[in-house]
Amino acid sequence: MELNSRSSLFENAKNGDRRSLAKLLTRIENGEEIDIPTTKSAWVLGVTGPPGAGKSTLIDRLASHWSENKQRVAILAVDPSSPITGGALLGDRARMVHSNPTQVYFRSISARGNHGGIPNGLEAMIQALSESGWDRVIIETVGVGQGEFAVISVANRILLVDGPDRGDVLQAEKAGILEIADLIACNKSDLPGSLNAMKSVEDGLSYSDNPPPVISVSSLTGDGIENLVHRLEALEPDLGKSTARAKISLESVMISRIRRSPLYDDVVHDISQNKITSKQGAERMESNYGRI
């Protein structure tokens, strides 16, 4: 009975029923293991960058482009602080002004309670979306910190958005995002000073080994968006980047499992009281591996 209702949720989601899709994703988010067939690998774009750089506006442009080309676009906005889950943040929904709503699905996901890592079930949600006919899945995160970094690592293409008033590319470099980003979009090219900003982003990259290309766009006017879409669609798989992403996502999942372990607090306490060394603490955790 329960199994039937799960599989019919998936079947209905596949047939375009959004309520079933929302229910399915909520169940996955709540930790239910749901068997979703894997027939293809999802096309997933991670979009990250500092607050206010224009990520949501840019995603709206991308979604609009793809939806006009008869592709279905699902957007997952991961908000590190929001307790809201399953719904849509009003602000973000209001920004989706260009996209065709019938071809675009939007959902916000709370990152709370996941110990600063990848939200519960995010990868399974992506798979469910892809298998139910969403051709492009876009994940938006805020900021360039460790948590966002982990979230974005589940994508197989990564776009870093920066803006002339931000210039956070150096911060991104420190955080290691450049190692996994495929492209940098220097947004707000309509603003005065944007050429200088682009130059300073490129200068900032000059110390990097294999810096991602930087392109200039304006999400406000749409300038450069065609070029961005073209570049995103033409991205070749990069073994170095996919390895770096896999390391981050694996390590992030391991860290959150360690933190969720029932032993964690006791082991931390014993280390802090010098009763055991951290190596012994790690060994105690490992000997209870099944409980991590």
Ligand X SMILES: Nc1nc2c(ncn2[C@@H]2O[C@H](COP(=O)(O)OP(=O)(O)OP(=O)(O)O)[C@@H](O)[C@H]2O)c(=O)[nH]1
Options 220, 235, 244, 282; binder of ligand X; rule CB under 6 A: 220
What is the closest distance, in whole angstroms, from the C-beta atom of residue 235 to ligand X in the complex? Answer: 21
What is the closest distance, in whole angstroms, from the C-beta atom of residue 245 to ligand X in the complex? Answer: 21
What is the closest distance, in whole angstroms, from the C-beta atom of residue 47 to ligand X in the complex? Answer: 9
What is the closest distance, in whole angstroms, from the C-beta atom of residue 143 to ligand X in the complex? Answer: 7
Q: Is residue 56 close enough to count as binding ligand X by CB under 6 A?
A: yes
- Type of residue found at 100: N
- Measure Cα distances from 112 to 14, 80, 84, 172, 291 in Å: 29, 6, 9, 23, 22
Q: Which of residues 218 and 249 has its CB atom nearest to ligand X in the complex? A: 218
Query: Residue 102 in contact with residue 18, Cβ under 8 Å?
Result: no
Q: Is residue 51 close enough to count as binding ligand X by CB under 6 A?
A: yes
Q: Is residue 147 close enough to count as binding ligand X by CB under 6 A?
A: no
Q: Quote the DSSP letter at residue 47.
A: E
Q: Which does 20 bind (CB under 5 to 8 A by kind): ligand X, Mg ion, none?
A: none
Distance CA 280, CA 276 (A): 6
Options 42, 53, 151, 225; binder of ligand X; rule CB under 6 A: 53
Considering only the stretches 19-27, 45-53, 107-115, 172-180, report the one whose residues sit in contact with ligand X under the rule CB under 6 A.
45-53
- In DSSP notation, 215-259 reads EE--TTT-TTHHHHHHHHHHPPP-HHHHHHHHHHHHHHHHHHHHH
Query: Residue 232 in contact with residue 168, Cβ under 8 Å?
Result: no
What angle separates helix 239-260 from helix 264-272, to the nearest 10 degrees?
80
Binding-site ranges for ligand X (CB under 6 A) = 51-57, 95, 142, 187-188, 190-191, 218-220
